[in-house]
């Protein structure tokens, strides 16, 4: 952490490029920036409180499961920008806090975290359509909201040097769905659902800005009586009349709660009514009830994190770092779906699906399998790994393997 003029620079060093760009959550009261680095580990495994400088009163590093959270407590709200830099021996995530930064119309406190990819090469077979769209939204640094109409749909994709935004449109249209940009969020649902933007009553705290990022979450977990948006707004929610189990895919960074609620209602075909209690009632939009005609309904539910066999435990030799979920499976249980090469990301990535149906984006240097497997290279032919095999006598040797794509 250092200060340069009016700016405070916070550099977070990573041993390898992140699989996905960190999630950013900015709270105005108290002023705080929280960065969540998914599928990573802090080698110490301990919560650390570090002294701050300038606008930063204190910084905290905490490991929660497979997510490393870096929290910057600030003395006041300060505009910031973020940048992911690929260096020769490591990767740095740089946060620049500076009141002199020019605000944007949509997001007055935050600027894009990376330069969006102008083109990608991608190959994947039988990949979950919502997961693919979420990956493409990360590559283009854009917000996304997908309704439950895409649940359980799988597709094949094989494209060379294509604009990822164009690919998002193509995937949506191939599934007979429409796209509509509302503010800084791209909505994907049926043309009928997107035909009108629902009106949201004015609510307490609805101008607070938060980030939500879920690949598969039950609508009730976001909008129900004990949902995330309910807790932020601190007003009663009545969503009994709508499908609380609708499976949503939502990635919206630092938008107002009001706009996020409106986007969820849009892709699900809901309308909102004000309650005398000061709360809100969500229900199916009667004026577009014909949207359900001919659309197969799914009773989605929030997917719990998949877990390896109950007999597996993280080996004691991993004490220097935390095991990741993919190390809990034998290699033959993991399904390599394909790869993506993007000029906006630091390395070629591959997609691996677990027996539970979760899809992980992996890069060279990541771990997988129960024999201390390390990804050495990702190519168009497959994922090259090196395992450390040990026999009953304690002798060990390295074994190389290539996991071909489907």
Q: How far apart are CA 40 and CA 321, in angstroms?
A: 10
Tell me the two tokens of residue 266.
């849009």
What are the φ/ψ torsions at residue 288 (nearest 5 degrees)?
-125, 35
Q: What would the pLDDT profile of 48-65 be if each residue is shown by its tens digit?
A: 667 778 888 888 888 877
pLDDT band at 122 (very low <50, low <70, confident <90, very high): very high
Structural element, H or E, at residue 97: strand 91-97
Q: Model pTM? A: 0.65
Among residues 185, 360, 158, 202, which one has the least CA distance to residue 260?
Answer: 185
Domains of the chain: 2-97 (2.60.40.3470), 120-292 (3.55.50.30), 316-404 (2.30.30.830)
* End-to-end Cα distance, the chain: 45
- Checking if the pLDDT of 296 tops 80, the result is no
Q: How far apart are CA 33 and CA 95, in angstroms?
A: 10
Q: Which residue has the higher pLDDT, 216 or 345?
A: 216
Q: How far apart are CA 108 and CA 36, in angstroms?
A: 21
Please, what is the Cα angle at 234 between 231 and 240, to 5 degrees?
70
């Amino acid at each position: 952490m250092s200060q340069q003029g009016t700016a405070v620079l916070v550099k977070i060093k990573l041993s390898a490029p992140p699989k996905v760009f960190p999630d950013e959550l900015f709270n105005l009261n108290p002023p705080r920036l929280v960065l969540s680095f998914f599928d990573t580990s802090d080698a110490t495994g301990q919560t650390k409180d570090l002294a701050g400088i300038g606008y930063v009163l204190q910084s905290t590093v905490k490991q929660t499961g497979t997510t490393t959270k870096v929290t910057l407590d600030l003395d006041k709200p300060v505009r910031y920008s973020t940048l992911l830099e690929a260096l020769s021996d490591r990767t740095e995530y740089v946060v620049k806090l500076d009141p002199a930064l020019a605000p944007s119309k949509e997001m007055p406190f935050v600027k894009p975290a990376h330069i969006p990819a102008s083109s990608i090469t991608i190959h994947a077979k039988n990949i979950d359509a919502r997961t693919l769209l979420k990956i493409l939204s990360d590559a283009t640094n854009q917000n996304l909201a997908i309704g439950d109409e895409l649940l359980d749909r799988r597709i094949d994709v094989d494209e060379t040097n294509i604009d990822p935004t164009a690919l998002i449109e193509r995937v949506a249209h191939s599934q007979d769905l429409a796209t509509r940009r509302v503010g800084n969020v791209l909505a994907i649902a049926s043309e009928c659902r997107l035909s009108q933007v629902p009106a949201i009553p004015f609510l307490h705290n609805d101008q607070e800005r938060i980030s939500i990022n879920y690949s598969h979450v039950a609508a009730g977990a976001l909008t129900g009586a004990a949902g995330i948006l309910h807790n932020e707004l601190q007003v009663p929610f009545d969503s009994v009349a709508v499908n609380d189990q609708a499976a949503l895919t939502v990635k919206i960074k630092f938008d107002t709660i009001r706009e996020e609620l409106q986007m969820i209602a849009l892709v699900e075909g809901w309308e909102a009514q004000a309650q005398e209690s000061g709360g809100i009632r969500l229900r199916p939009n009667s004026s577009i009830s014909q949207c359900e005609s001919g659309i197969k309904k799914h009773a989605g539910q929030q997917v719990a994190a998949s877990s390896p066999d109950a007999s597996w435990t993280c080996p004691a030799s991993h004490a220097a770092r935390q095991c990741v979920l993919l190390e809990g499976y034998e290699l033959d249980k993991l399904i390599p779906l394909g790869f993506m090469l993007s000029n906006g990301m630091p390395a070629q990535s591959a997609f691996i699906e677990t027996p539970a149906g979760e899809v992980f984006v992996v890069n060279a240097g990541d771990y997988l399998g129960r024999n201390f497997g390390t990804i050495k290279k990702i190519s168009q032919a497959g994922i090259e790994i090196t395992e450390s095999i040990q026999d009953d006598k304690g002798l060990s040797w390295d074994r190389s393997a290539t996991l071909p794509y489907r």
